Structure formats: C-alpha cells, structure tokens
Structure 1
Amino acid sequence: MSRVDTELALIASRFQLEGAVQSISPYGDGHINDTYLITTDQRRYILQRMNTDVFPDTKSLMRNIELVTGFLKSQGKETLDIIRSNDGATYLEDSAGAWRVYAFIEHTISYNLVPNASVFRDAGAAFGDFQNELARFDASQLTETIAHFHDTPHRFADFKAAVQKDELGRAASCKPEIDFYYAHADVYPIIMDGLKDGSLPLRVTHNDTKLNNILMDATTHKARAIIDLDTIMPGSMLFDFGDSIRFGASTALEDECDLDKVHFSTELFRAYTEGFVGELRQSITAREAQLLPLGAKMMTLECGMRFLADYLSGDTYFATDYPEHNLVRCHTQIKLVQEMEASEGRMDAIVEAVMESGSAETAENAKGDAL
C-alpha cells in the first residue's frame, strides 16, 4: 500500500470490519466529506472523513443518524448501517479528522442525471415515503446540524456579506449574477414566514434530496435506501421537494459549462410530483401543495446563491476542481430559475392536476368501499 493507503488502513483497523482489508480507494463525487470504498476479503464498506468545518458538532450529527436509522430499521426500512469502532462508538477522531464507517449497500446504483420519468417518479415516491415514515418520529430528539440550513433569508444575508467583503475581488466580474439574486429578494422569506406563523407545518426533512442520495436496486431500478443523512433536521417538506426538482428536473449536471444543455423539464417535474404527492396525499396541506412550485424555485435560488457566495469568498465550502467551478454551478442554477419562472403556469397546473387526480381516486375508493 502507498503511504496514504497505509494511513487509511490504520483508520479502518479501528472499526469492527469483517475480514482483512484488501483495498481502500476514493469513492463517489460528494462536495463535503471525503469518501472511500473499503474492500475486505468478506465484504465492502464506506469510510468517510467528515467535514468538521461544515459539521463541527460531530457527536450530535452522529447521534441524529443513529436515532433516525434505528427508527427506520424498527419500521422494516432499509437504511444506512453504522459500523461501530472497536470501542463501540459510532465514529472516532484522530489528528486527521473525524471518521465513520457504513456497511456498503450492495447491488444498488444511483443517478447523477435522471434517466427517465419513471425513475424520477419512483424517486419522488421514495422521498415521500421517507417523510411519511419520519412523521412518526419524535423530531424533538434531533439536533440542528447546520444552523439556518434552508433559511433562505439568512442565506441571502450571508450572500450580501460575501458580496460586500469581496474577499478575492471577484464581485465586479459577477455583477449580472449578483443583481439576479438581489432582484429576487422579495420571495426569500415566504417559506420561513409560513413555518413561523404555522401556515406551513414543521416536519422532519432530509434537506439534501438530490437524486444521487437514493440508492436504487440495480436490477429493478426501484428505490431501496435514502442515504446522506447528515442534514436530517426539522423543516418544511418544500425543502425536500424543491431540492429534488432543482437537481433532478434539470437536463444537465449542476456544473455543466454549456448552458444550452441546461433546461428545466416540466415533464420530469410532473413525474416527481406524482410520486411525491402520491405518498403524502393524506398529510399534505393545501398551502403546501400550492407552494410546491415555489419550493422548487426557492431551493434553486438558494443553492445558486450559495455557489456564488462561495465563489466570492474563495471557494471554502464546496469542493472545486478549477477556479471558476462554483461560478459555473451558479450559472446553471440561474438558468433553471429563469426557465422555472417561464413555466410557472404550467407547474401550477401540474400540481393542481395531480392533486385533483388524487381527490378523484379517493372519492372512487370511498364509493367502492360503500358498495
């Protein structure tokens, strides 16, 4: 093994793994944590060095995950399986950082781009079902792992501070992008105000519902497990719905340089809405349904704003591969927002049709039950 491999092997040896370690290699394309695939002569595992700058309260973070995965397992759901350290802890710390290990969930795949509407519909159903399950979980047990994570007005305040500080002198070259986010300031408080006044219910939410956080069965392509539970916190269902649409209803990756390839698909929006609302039909409120399109727009605005703020601040949060990476990401999000705004009437009509089809189905079922 190389020096790095040897260091990782030493970390791995401190967890309760089955078999002798054969290899450890980088895995995945996440922005935040460092992730490795461990292969032993018996099975595979995921090793992660957690980003303690983003998640400074590692103890509370892992307690959240332990509570949620334990609850989901008690409901018969497939979920992340924490592998404990040799002393029985859910993670360990050393001079290089904080480390955890999960069992690798075999015979699964994930998608960075939606391959077809059917898969995206199933993804919507998976996250809807995830929220249904956690509706029975006591959210008061959870700690807020990142303060103000989807508090868009707070994110906007951070954005304005980054523009004002202009740490690397990049703001002058980003004036159109900066102006775009200032021009949308009136919509940023809507969801948070709804949570505060009670017009939107507080729910346990995943808060990072990108398509690649669902593991699909490699044969059936049906959802099996929701992963990346670091941001499990109380919030609005609009956060989860909106971030899924931001990521999944785009025709390109979020760092696509050619904006001619970046489009918002109303058909993928329809497919996800059918799956998500189909699972949550008994609990979704009229106000939540009305604001589903806004949730998609809000999460796209918020994410693009964060990419641009990070670019202005020297790329200290999101992992980047080249100097303009975060600016490129910002551009894709702006393009998506623009196309969402052009499609607002269509999005509203889709939600209304999905809600009405459910009402008709409910009425028909009730009629059948009465016969």
Structure 2
Amino acid sequence: MKAEQINLIFNQFTHKGEFESYQELVSGHINDTYLIKTKKKPYFVLQRINQGVFKDVTGLIENKVAVSDHIQEKLKDLPKKKLYRRVLVFVKTKERAPYYQDNSGNYWNLMYFIDDSLTFETVNDIEIAYEAGKLFGDFLNMTSDFDTSKLIEVIPRFHDMSFRYSQFQSAIQSVSKERLYKAKSCIDRVMDLKEEMHIIQNLKEAGDIKLRVTHNDTKISNALFTKENKGLCVIDTDTVMPGIVHYDFGDAIRTICSTAAEDETNLDLVEFNVEYYKAYTKGFLEKMESSLSPLELKYLSLGAKTMIFIMALRFLTDYLNNDVYYKTKYPEHNLDRAKNQFKLIECFSKKYQELQNI
C-alpha cells in the first residue's frame, strides 16, 4: 500500500501522533501489519484483519479489545508508560469504535507499539522458557475471572478433538491408495491413541474443567521480552476466545520443548527437552497455580501430549486430503510434519511419569 493510503487509515483513529513513515511487519502469516512511525514517539501498529481466515472480524477485534481492557484494569496502579508495555493497548476511532472499515470493506485496528522489546522464534535458554511460562501464566491468571460468554468463538471447534477426528475419518474415506499406504504407520498411531486423546475433551464437555479465556496461539514468538530477557507482554491476541487452560499450556510446551523444527525429517534429531519443560512449568505455576483446580492441575501434562497429538492429526489429515490447508514445499511435507509430531509424542510418552511428577 502507498504511504498516503496508510496515513489516511491511521488518521481515522484518535491518536496524537503525526505520521512520518511506515514499514510492513512480516512476522505474522495471516494479517497485514504495519509499524507506523510518527514524528514523536510513541509509535503505533496498524493491522488489517484477514477476512478470508476470520469470518467474524468485528467479533475478533471486540474480543481482543475486551480482554485487553480487562487486563488494563488489573494493572491500573502501574504508571501509564509501564502499563502500555505490559499489555496491548488499542486506540479507538474518531467514532469511538474499536475498528475502522475502509471503502473496500477491510477492517483495521490500531494499537500502541511496544518499543525496546525482543521476540524469539525458538527457545535456546532455560531462562527464556521460565520467563515465557510466567508471561503466559500471568495472562491466563489475570483473565481467569473474565466472563467468557462475552467472547465469540473466533475459530469454531479449533481444538475440539471429536471434530478433528471426524475430519480425519472423512479424509480416510476419499484418500488415494498411494497416500493411504504411505501414511499407514501414522494412521495406526492415531487409532492407538484415540481413547487417551479424548480424555480432556470429555472432561471439558462434562463441565468438569473450567471454561476460561485462552490465547490459543502460545508459541514463543507471541511473547515479548525486555533486552534483559525478562517477560514483558503477550501479543497477537487475534485467537483469544473461550477455551481450557490445557490448550495454552500444551501448545506452548509443544513449541518450546521440541529439539527440532516441526518439519525436520531426521527423526533422530527430534527429542523432548525436559529441562525446558521444568522451567516453563515452574514459571507458569508461579503465576497460575492459585487459579487452577486440582483436576486442571492433574491433567496439565496430558494437555501437552494432547496438543502435540492434535497437530500431528491435523498435518496427517491435510496430507490425506492432498494438502488443502497448510502450505507445502514438496509432496510429502505434511506427512513428514505428522511423523515429526508423532516422534515428539513418543519421546514425551517415555518421560511422561517424570513430567507428571513435576
């Protein structure tokens, strides 16, 4: 987009900045995100939400603004400068709306940019794992009293195991003989784990596990750190919606504790890092333990195994469906991703009792 277009949209919001320049931020894969540099700080982040991926864009924006406002209320005793570094702060339009819709029907939101911060794509240090645990635990703790009935389900049935199994079974019905043969070992693993992988889903549906605000994308790159490697702020809250604690704990563990990229084909390199698990869990429970029921606590480690499995299942299902969802670089890419995640489950299972004891 041209600078004058960006400036025009930027000036629909009630900021006090004077536009100077902008640059696209390419770390995300879904939305169009721009850093707005003004003549005097603070800077801002302008974002266009992808309506192809998210069907209820206004609901999505209202979700993340409501959760942000809730956290700000918890932190209201902080000086303004510190508050604006601990939580995403959104700017309203001149019509006092949380978003602006342009002439093409695109929806935009604006937030303050958090300067002097770091992100990590992978974890290579126990301290980072520990600080990430504190950060995501604190996010869940501060939103534990939020009324989830006020949130829409941004991606319906996102972590619903029954739904994912249904997709998998439908894919098997129409898969080619060649792909069915190549995927047989992974399919067998899915069937072996079916009962165990429904335990948390069944507890959720029975109402035994509390429905709460969950982030639903707790990868390490969605945590901001100070230059001293201390946890600062949870970002990218587009997928905030009702869920259970095991989703966020499990997805963070899946991404933080694997020793290899999720499409690594040399499975000898895929291991589960117990030390990172200990560090993350320690930080997470320091912030979160008082908000957890004994049942939630009991099943945290199974939550991690379940989230690894659900990604394996989704990669496998997409392979069986001829790669219609995830971008692939070669014909067996999704199958390799699935094998990688099943290897991680195998490593996790061998250490399960140790992890449960933690």
TM over 0.5: yes
**Shorter-chain TM-score category?**
0.7 to 0.9
Structure 2 residue runs without a partner (length 5+): 76-82
Cα deviation for residue 309 of structure 1 reads 2.5
Q: Does 1:205 align with 2:226?
A: no
Describe the SS at the equivalent of 2:146: coil
CA contact (8 A) 1:311 1:327 kept: yes
Q: Percent identity of the aligned residues? A: 37
Cα deviation for residue 25 of structure 1 reads 2.4
What residue number does 1:193 align with?
202
Q: Does 1:73 align with 2:72?
A: yes
What residue number does 2:21 align with?
22
**Larger deviation, residues 175-184 vs 54-63:** 175-184
- Pairs within 5 Å for 1:200-279: 200-218=209-227, 220-279=228-287
TM-score computed with the length of structure 2 as normaliser: 0.86
- Pairs within 5 Å for 1:117-156: 117-156=126-165
Q: Does 1:54 align with 2:62?
A: no
Cα deviation for residue 308 of structure 1 reads 2.8
**Larger deviation, residues 45-54 vs 337-346:** 45-54
Q: Which residue, 31, 43, 50 being the options, matches 1:33?
A: 31
Structure 1 residue runs without a partner (length 5+): 351-371
Work out the CA distance in 2 between the residues paired with 1:104 and 1:310.
Answer: 36
Describe the SS at the equivalent of 1:23: strand
CA contact (8 A) 1:251 1:261 kept: yes
Cα deviation for residue 200 of structure 1 reads 2.1
C-alpha change, 1:23 and 1:129, in structure 2 (3 Å) is: closer
Q: Does 1:182 align with 2:182?
A: no
C-alpha change, 1:83 and 1:331, in structure 2 (3 Å) is: farther
Cα deviation for residue 134 of structure 1 reads 0.8
CA contact (8 A) 2:146 2:212 kept: no
CA contact (8 A) 1:80 1:225 kept: yes
What residue number does 2:78 align with?
none
Q: Which residue, 168, 176, 200 being the options, matches 1:159?
A: 168
Per-residue CA deviations over 1:23-45 (Å, capped at 9, x if unaligned) read 322421x3433334333444533
Work out the CA distance in 1 between the residues paired with 2:2 and 2:181.
Answer: 41
Q: Which residue, 333, 344, 347 being the options, matches 2:341?
A: 333
What residue number does 1:298 align with?
306
Work out the CA distance in 1 between the residues paired with 2:30 and 2:316.
Answer: 17
CA contact (8 A) 1:113 1:251 kept: no
Q: Does 1:343 align with 2:343?
A: no
Cα deviation for residue 178 of structure 1 reads 3.0
- Residue 273 of structure 1 aligns with an amino acid whose one-letter code is T
TM-score computed with the length of structure 1 as normaliser: 0.83
Describe the SS at the equivalent of 2:195: helix
What's the C-alpha RMSD, in Å, of the aligned pairs? 2.7
